[in-house]
Each structure stands twice: as structure tokens, then as C-alpha cells.
Amino acid sequence: MSRIRATVAEAARRLAEAGVESPDSDARLLIAHVLQVDPGELALLDIRGREISAGEWDALEDLLGRRQSREPLQHLTGVAHFRHVTLQVGPGVFTPRPETELLAGWAIEQARAAGEAPVVVDLCTGSGAIAKAIADEVPAAQVHAVELDESAHAWAARNLAGTGVDLHHGDAFTAFPDLQGAVDVVVCNPPYIPLEAWESVAVEARDHDPHLALFSGQDGLDAMRLLEAHAASLLKPGGVVGAEHADVQGESAPAVFAATGRWREVRDHRDLAGRARFLTARLAR
């Protein structure tokens, strides 16, 4: 038997030694998962003298061992939180990242500004995170999403069930020919890691996320080039596109759009850490 505060400290120590980037937070989330409580309740439970039982210790030991081997936290808990929605995640789907919430927020603002029934397309939807967030925060929007990977599509289907999102299984860069010229907002979190950057990718992503969702040619911009052409065909004149990219692509990714002459207001946006994170552009014609 052990008190919660001591358990959190021990778990965090072990995770830190294993190189986990957020050991304190992960320790609390794993313990809360084992105890089936909200993480915010742990301090109160500790004050009340709640102890970890032998069975709970066994369950926690298993989860800690897996996290120490750098299995993604969300695979262990089975959920990921994204803006105001909760997603089911696990092996076979890209785990949504907090920084992508900024791109989703931009898409939500643009959808709200587009009129009473905006048409929004989420390409490379993965778990369905962006599409679900838009449907949640802009209920009047007509949201369409597409995913190529079969396993990821299955996760998206679970997450988007009952949301009204029109989910397709197929190639993001040829999808929705029936929507050409009819879309207000295109949003995409495409693969953008250069193949040569394999060794620099975090173990959690490199060893557990689908490679289809990570890598995009030698310079990491193959998918961005396909996105530029497809977004131009889907959007209404004056419609907007937003796409996440690697922090080293703050100039090269927007340049893909600027070079074609089809876009105006091409600009890049930084995340809360000041890193280049996503580009936006408006269709000129």
C-alpha cells in the first residue's frame, strides 16, 4: 500500500529516467486512469488518505513499464483530449497533438465567418480530431473528412459516429470531386517529415504512429504540394486553406502555395512556443 503523492513521485522519477518528456503529467494521468478518477481529484484523494492497493499497483506497474518503453500515453489510456472533445485512440492511428488545436481553432473561426451553413473539408483526418472539433463548435457546418489508412479510418469512424461528419475512406488529394468549387474551408494535417529526418523523430511517433501519417518525401513537402493543388480545386473563390507543417518549414511550406500564383494572404502562424506551426492561404480566383 502506498499514498498517492508518493506513488506519483516514484512514477514520475521512473518516467524521467526513461526519457519521457512530461514525466510528472504522465505519472498523474496514468495513476488517475488506474484509479478511474479525474487527474484533478488525485490531490484530494491524497489528503483523504487514499492508498494504492496491491491490485492497483500491479496495473500501474504494467502501464509504467509500457510508458518507459515509450509507448504513447494515449495508447495506454485509450483516449486523447482535443479542444473540447474526447477521442478514442490506439495502435494504428496518429495521436492528435496539442499544437494541432491551434490549426483546428483557426478552421473553426473561418467556418463561423463563412456564413450560416459553411462547408468544411478535413483532409488526412486521422483520428477525426479536427473534424470532430469543428462539428462540435460549429454545429451548422457541413463537415466532410477523409482518411486513406484503413486502421486510422476505423478509429475515425468510431470518433465521428453520431457527429454528422461525412467520413470517406480514400485518397485525401483526390477526394470529394462532387464538392469542387463548393468548399469554404479546407483544413489538413498532412504528413510532413522528411525521410532523412527518421532518427530525429520522437520514439513515440516513429515507433507507434502510422508512417503514412508522418513521412512525405525527401523534403517533407510532397503532401503539401498535392494539398495545394487539391485545395485550389475544392474551394470557392475566396475560400481558405490551413495546413500544419514541421517547425523548420515556416518558409518552405508557405512557398509551395505562393509559387503557384493561385493564392493571396499566404502567411505562416506560430504555436505557443514560438515555433512555425501552420500556414494559411486564401484562393485568389
**240 membership: H or E segment, kind and range:** strand 235-244
By C-alpha distance, which of 123, 107, 87 is closest to 234? 123
Q: Report helix, strand or coil for 110.
A: helix
| CA distance to 50, 113, 191, 261, per residue, from 218 (Å) | 53, 37, 12, 24
By C-alpha distance, which of 170, 120, 169 is closest to 141? 120
The HSE-up count of residue 83 (CA atoms within 13 Å, CB side) is: 19
Do residues 278 and 106 lie in contact, with contact meaning Cβ atoms separated by under 8 Å?
yes
What's the rounded Cα separation, in Å, for the pair 76 and 13? 18
Is 191 known as a binding-site position?
A: yes
Q: Burial, 186: exposed, middle or buried (Cβ in 10 Å; 0-12, 13-18, 19+)?
A: buried
What's the rounded Cα separation, in Å, for the pair 150 and 264? 35
Q: Report helix, strand or coil for 274.
A: coil
What is 145-173 written as a DSSP string? EEE-SHHHHHHHHHHHTTS--EEEES-TT
Is 147 known as a binding-site position?
A: yes
Is 189 known as a binding-site position?
A: yes
Q: Binding site membership: which residues?
A: 147, 189-192
Q: Binding site membership for S-adenosyl-L-methionine: which residues?
A: 147, 189
Q: Binding site membership for substrate: which residues?
A: 189-192
